[in-house]
Every structure is written in C-alpha cells, then in structure tokens.
Structure 1
Amino acid sequence: MIKQTLGGLLAAACMLAQAANPLFPKLYTADPAALVDGGRVYLYVGKDDAPAGGKDYLMREWRVYSSCDMKNWTEHGSPLNVQTFGWAKADAWASDIARRDGKYYFYATVEHKAVPGKAIGVAVSDSPTGPFRDARGTALVTNDMTKETDISWDDIDPAVFIDDNGQAYLYWGNRVLKYAKLKPNMVELDGPIHTVGVDKFEEASYLHKHKSVYYLSWSREFPEETAYATGPSATGPWTYRGVIMKKNEGVKTIHHAIVDFNGKSYIFYHNARLPGGGEYRRSVAVEELRYLSDGTIAFVPQTADGPAPNPGPGCKVIRQ
C-alpha cells in the first residue's frame, strides 16, 4: 500500500513536470495572448495551418489553453475564428484579451472584406474559454483610419491594458506604434489615435505594469528581438531600456505577452522549434521573467525546459 501511494505521488510529480517548450507539440501555434483569471492562466494562440514548404501565413482560428501551475495545460478548443466577424474574410492573426465587469473582451487582427488591409475587431464572452461573439458588428480599427504608412498591414497586433484608475488603452501597429483610449464599454475608441516613437519599432507592442512602473515592450527590428522601455504612465514618456529576448532562429517574428501569476512573472513568445517548424509553422513557449533590483528586466534566454511548476492554492490539474 505504501509503495502504491509513493508510486502514485511520483507519477503525479512527473506529470506536473512533464510539460516543456514548445508548449503544444501537436500543433503549430503563434502570437500568444495571456490572461490571469480565477487562479488560472488562459493562453490564446493563433493556429498555423501552413503546409510544409508553405509561403504565407495560413491562420483561420484562435485556440485557448489554461493552466494552474504553468506546466500542465488544458486545451479548451477554439473559442472563435475568422467567421466570428461577419465583416472579415481571412487571417486569424495576433490578438489580446482583457476582463472587465465580468465579461471578456478579445481584440483580434483580421483581413477586412470591404476596407482593403488588416483591421482590428473585438469579440466578447461571458467566459474566458468562449464562445465569443462579435461585440460591435463592425471593425474597431480599419486600415483607412491611420495614414502614417502606405502598407496594408500597419493596423495589427492589438494590445489592451486597463490601468489602476479603470482607464483602458489599446496599443497596436506595424512600422508605426499607435494607441488610443477605450471607452468603459471596451468596444469604442475614446478620442484620437496617437503615435508613439520608440526605438526601431516593428510590431507586437505590449503594455504591463510592475509595482509603480509601466513597461512598454515590442518586437524591435526585423528579424525581431523583444525590447522594452519604461515610463511613469500608460502613455509614457518612454525611456528605452534594452532587449528582453534575442532574435529567433528559423523564424523572423517572436510575438510576446507578459503576465504575473502566483507571485512570479512570465513571458510567452513563439519560435520555430517544433519538428518541421519555420516561418509559417511556429510554436508557442514560455519562460520566467525576472526584474532586477533597479526595476529593469533581466535578459531572458529561450530554454527547452521552460519554467518550474508554480501551482497556486487549490490548483487542480485538469487531465485530458
């Protein structure tokens, strides 16, 4: 009986430690967005469907996973796809999510049917795992609303942030970083669109706060590395601080998200380390992120093991 109990404990310990990078070896996934809610981390990824040797991004849906220990991930299927937005025609590109007043708002990059170029839509759900429905019936941002560049993909990669005073912000962009306030309903811009000058901005902006400092991070240069700046408010002014993660091998992008969970911080990103991986067949991974005593972020190396298990109170791994 004792041997059986010990065997069971050892097996459970092994299962807690079994997950490693990349996180989801059965699928090619990219562009992670993360939300901490109810003692779990919810991770939203785009699904790369490009065939071997493909020459373009082929992405039709987003998928969601959750974990209470940063090691064991439960798959919850696809909470929405391109067809969720009746005005969109293709491309389930990068996204972000926030919770407000008991509802979950999902901001997504898609290709617009009628307005040439990429657009940002917003979907809403009563659950972090969906299903989500179009919250507006129209795009929140379309390519004709911004004129800073002549490319059709400059309105991508939404990043939503709700400040301590309740004011919500949406950051986004390619080549030029833009932001706008959101109204309390989370589905309308509240005022003009602003541009932000940061060092060698390419795409994938992300805004988070640690203690009293605001951190604006982004994909810098192309091929991309993850860089960041700090500031005293959600709109800066921003002071460039350096690189968090170096450029990938095998894929030019690196899109990231940062969360605090059970007393530690984590950075999600993607690379091309699954067998058969590459530019259009990426794989999401995660590492622990650490702050130095002066508030700067320590450089984060990519690892095969990923972070150690970090279960919170009442953590129950959902087996599948």
Structure 2
Amino acid sequence: MRFFKINTMLLVGLISNALFAQIGVKHGSDDNRSSWGINPHALYVDVIAPEHGMADPHAWVQNDTVYVICGHDESWEGKGSFRMDRWEVWSSTDLKNWKHHRNIYPSQTYIGNQPNCWAGDITERDGKFYWFFSNRNKNTGVMVADNATGEYKDLLGKPLLPEGIVPVHPYDPEVFVENDVYTICFGAGTYYMATLSKDMKSLASEPKAITVIDEKGQSMKTEDKSTLFKRNGWYYLVFGSRYAMSKNLYGPYEFKGAFLKGGHTSFFEWKNQLYVLQENHDISAFYRGASLKPVFFNKDETIIVPKEDRMYPAPGRPFEFKNSTMGWNALGGTLISYKEGKLMGTITAKNAVVQSAPWLYTETKLCSKITLKIKNNSQAKELKLALFTRNYSKNFWSTETGQVDWSKQEWITIPIAAKDASFKIYTIDLNKFKNRNELLMQLAFQLEADKGSWEIDEVIIN
C-alpha cells in the first residue's frame, strides 16, 4: 500500500537551516550516537496514510523496520468529540510505503465496546512488545504481544494507571528507555513520571510531578500527550507544538517555545536521522492524519523551526478525492458516489445542498479563494457556495458543530457553463463573503437544477 507525498520545498528550507549535531534516539540514548550532518536525503511526507483517519501515531524501530500504532477516528462526520473506535498497527521499511497489519479493538481490553482509543506508546522489553494505551482521558492500560505487529492481549484486565493515582487525569502515556530503565510519563496540565517494574504491569516508584518553567521562571501548564527524546545530554519534552529541555529526565524543564506545527508527536531515529511523526488535520480536526518530518538543531541544542513549516494541510485545504469522498455528502436531492478519483452526484431535486466534512478547522486569515474543478452535466447555469465559520473559544473542543442550517448562511452565486463535456475551473474570492470568523469549519454548494449530474475533480481552499 503506497501513500506518500514528499514536500521538497519544506525539505530545502529545513536543510538550509540545519547544523551538524550529535543526536540520540526517541526512547533514550547513551549519548554516543553517530555524528549527524545536514542530510539532503531526509524525507518529509505530508500524510503517510491519506484519507484514513489516522491519529496519535506512536513509533518503534526494530530490525530496519519502523512500526507505528495509531488511533483511528471513528467518522469524518464529527459525531462526537474525538470518538476513536480502534488502534491500528502499521509498518514501513522505507518511510514511503506503509503496510497495515491489524486492528486492536477496545473490546480486546478492559475498556469494552467504547470508542475510547486515545493515545499511547509502544516499546519492547526482553523480546516482548508492550502497547500502553489511553482509555480516553480516564486512565491508562497495557497490552503485550510476542512481536511488534501483535496479536496484543490485555496484560492486566484493568488500568495500570487508574483514576486517582495522581491529581490529574492519568492518560496519554509515553515510555522512555535509558540504561534499561523504563520510565512512563503521563497526564495533562502537569506531567507525572514513574519507573515501570520489570514485569511492565506495575510501577516500581511513586509518580513524581514534572515541573516546566516558563521564560518568567514560573511553573506552567502543559498540553496532553507528552513525548521524550535525548540528545547530547539534553532531555527534550515535547507537547504538541511546544517543547522544553532539561539536563535531568525528571526536570525541572525549561520551556523553549515553538516546536514544529502539528498535534501529538512521536520521535524515532532512522538511518542516522531523527524524525517525528506528528498528527495533522488531513480531512478535518476529527478525521486526522500523520505527517513525517525530519528534526534539526541549532548550535545551542534548541530545535530549528523553519519558516516553511506548517501543519498539514495549512495554509489552505485540498480536496482531491484520490481515495475517497473525503467526507462530502448531500442533504437530500443529490445521490453522492465516488469513482476513479472523482466525487459524483446525480441530481434528483432542486437546490440540493452538497457539503464537506465538518470541523475543517482552517484559519480563514490564511485563505483567499476557493477553486472548484467541476463538470456540470446539468442545465444549471449558476453555482452557489456557502461557508460555515466560527471563532476560537475557551470551550472550543467541548462544543459540537451539529448540522449546519445552511439556509441561514451567506451564499455567493457565480455563473457556470451548462451541459459540460469536460471539466472547467471556477474560482470564488473569499472577500465576497461579508462575515467570516476565524476558522472555516465547513463549506457547501448548490447547483440550480432539478435533474442531471455533476462530477468534481477537486476543491482547493488556498
């Protein structure tokens, strides 16, 4: 199965800023790694499994193969806040071609039949592979397998890190290995660390709170899903698009600022290059993907964040329908289908609304126009387009979008050709919309016809 797109422009920017460095591996280091210089062969892959709903990637390298266990977003319809119905096991031997091996379902654990498959981490010890997983933001469990691809079985039948073990929610585990000591880091707001016992199903030490100090010398709050790696005696604590550094695994950590743009991270070494798998918004904020990026460093050991760096698919959003409908659907009046890289519709009633997946989460300030490549096989001579936008808010993720009432949205009308024999390109200037909030969440279109058909090759927001 082959899914990759290499961003050469970003790679050039990365290389032009990179400096020679000594770098350690994701799960610990003896600080005697090989010397890494500027690497012209380092890869950048926009989405390793496009249009799939891959989230929370967690990597482990074994025998020249990188294994990834990730969560899977249940639906691109945005039915609930981060409903994740399973974990998936993938692998690659070249970082370009990715193979799906198996699914791990919550029913195989103490979670039961609940879409709670949140973030975790994979590690190996004494020939066994361990998958530490989140039961949503409630607690953390652990599974075990004889090889990286599974089959994984619940090791305890109950949480390893139950609710109440620390003052914060004990979820989003990260396992850091150094000198045969396995340290688990978990939580949100404040991280906690503890040593795992040899049996990997209990703690050998009490969890200790980890302090992150901001530029004013004050303790600061952190996001969920910590990740760790070590390089030249420095421990790097990464959380989303920010990071901190310390000379001691248990801190305190000094906040350094912005990391590469994106969501949850996982670090691994591949052919003498440090890489990060980083969550993105492939189709939407609730139907995500994973980007692959190389990581480079300044002389002072801080991480380089190139000007070209962005969270895919920013600054805009492409709908190219290479593998699926990408979550587009019709609200009656049009039958939607997908064939050979095209979104297709048969019109059965006038003014049928066709809408994108919700929760596009695209910053409107980065976008200026929408381009549609469409073949209009109907009598329609007008195309209408509407946007649903909203602003950032404190409780943003706890509020559901619901079904947009498109009759209350502003519609822009443009003329189009009827009964097309070939695809034509139409562009709508976003400045024509009078009221645009900070985030573009969803868009919709209508063809002014009551019969006929249409095909769309692509919709590009840029």
Question: TM-score scaled to structure 1, two decimals?
Answer: 0.76
Which position in structure 1 is the counterpart of 2:272? 263
Structure 2 unaligned residues grouped into runs of 5+:
7-44, 213-219, 314-462
Structure label with greater radius of gyration: 2
Shift in Å at residue 125 of structure 1? 0.6
Shift in Å at residue 87 of structure 1? 5.1
Deviations along 1:3-22, one digit per CA (max 9) or x if unpaired, are: xxxxxxxxxxxx79767421
Which position in structure 2 is the counterpart of 1:82? 106
SS in 2 for 1:144: coil
Structure 1 unaligned residues grouped into runs of 5+:
1-14, 112-116, 149-153, 220-225, 249-253, 306-320
Which position in structure 2 is the counterpart of 1:216? 237
Task: Give the residue type in structure 1 aligned to 2:106.
Answer: V
SS in 1 for 2:203: coil
Counterpart-to-counterpart distance in 2, 1:147 and 1:239: 22
Task: Give the residue type in structure 1 aligned to 2:258.
Answer: V
Contact 1:21 1:303 in 2 (8 A): no
Which position in structure 2 is the counterpart of 1:293? 299
Would you say 1:197 and 2:237 are equivalent positions? Answer: no
Counterpart-to-counterpart distance in 1, 2:260 and 2:146: 34
Counterpart-to-counterpart distance in 2, 1:243 and 1:92: 28
Which position in structure 1 is the counterpart of 2:417? none
- How many residues align structurally? 264
Which position in structure 1 is the counterpart of 2:52? 27
Would you say 1:272 and 2:278 are equivalent positions? Answer: no
1:292-311 equivalence runs, <5 A: 292-299=298-305, 301-302=309-310
Going from structure 1 to structure 2, the CA distance change for 1:161 and 1:290 (only over 3 Å counts) comes to same
Which position in structure 2 is the counterpart of 1:122? 142
Counterpart-to-counterpart distance in 1, 2:81 and 2:252: 37
Which position in structure 2 is the counterpart of 1:99? 124
Deviations along 1:111-161, one digit per CA (max 9) or x if unpaired, are: 5xxxxx61100001111000101112221011122224xxxxx22210001
Which position in structure 1 is the counterpart of 2:194? 180
Task: Give the residue type in structure 1 aligned to 2:141.
Answer: G
Which position in structure 2 is the counterpart of 1:9? none
Deviations along 1:18-47, one digit per CA (max 9) or x if unpaired, are: 674211124111111110111011111100
Compare 27-36 and 288-297 and name the one that shifted more. Answer: 288-297
Contact 2:46 2:291 in 1 (8 A): yes
Contact 2:3 2:50 in 1 (8 A): no
Task: Give the residue type in structure 2 aligned to 1:25.
Answer: P
Question: What's the RMSD between the two structures over aligned residues?
Answer: 2.2
Counterpart-to-counterpart distance in 2, 1:205 and 1:85: 23
Which position in structure 1 is the counterpart of 2:175? 160
Match of 1:232 among 247, 257, 276: 247
Going from structure 1 to structure 2, the CA distance change for 1:59 and 1:304 (only over 3 Å counts) comes to closer
Counterpart-to-counterpart distance in 2, 1:209 and 1:202: 20
Deviations along 1:52-93, one digit per CA (max 9) or x if unpaired, are: 142322212111111121111111121x22112135552010
Shift in Å at residue 236 of structure 1? 2.1
1:5-84 equivalence runs, <5 A: 20-78=45-103, 80-84=104-108
Contact 2:192 2:209 in 1 (8 A): yes
Going from structure 1 to structure 2, the CA distance change for 1:134 and 1:241 (only over 3 Å counts) comes to same
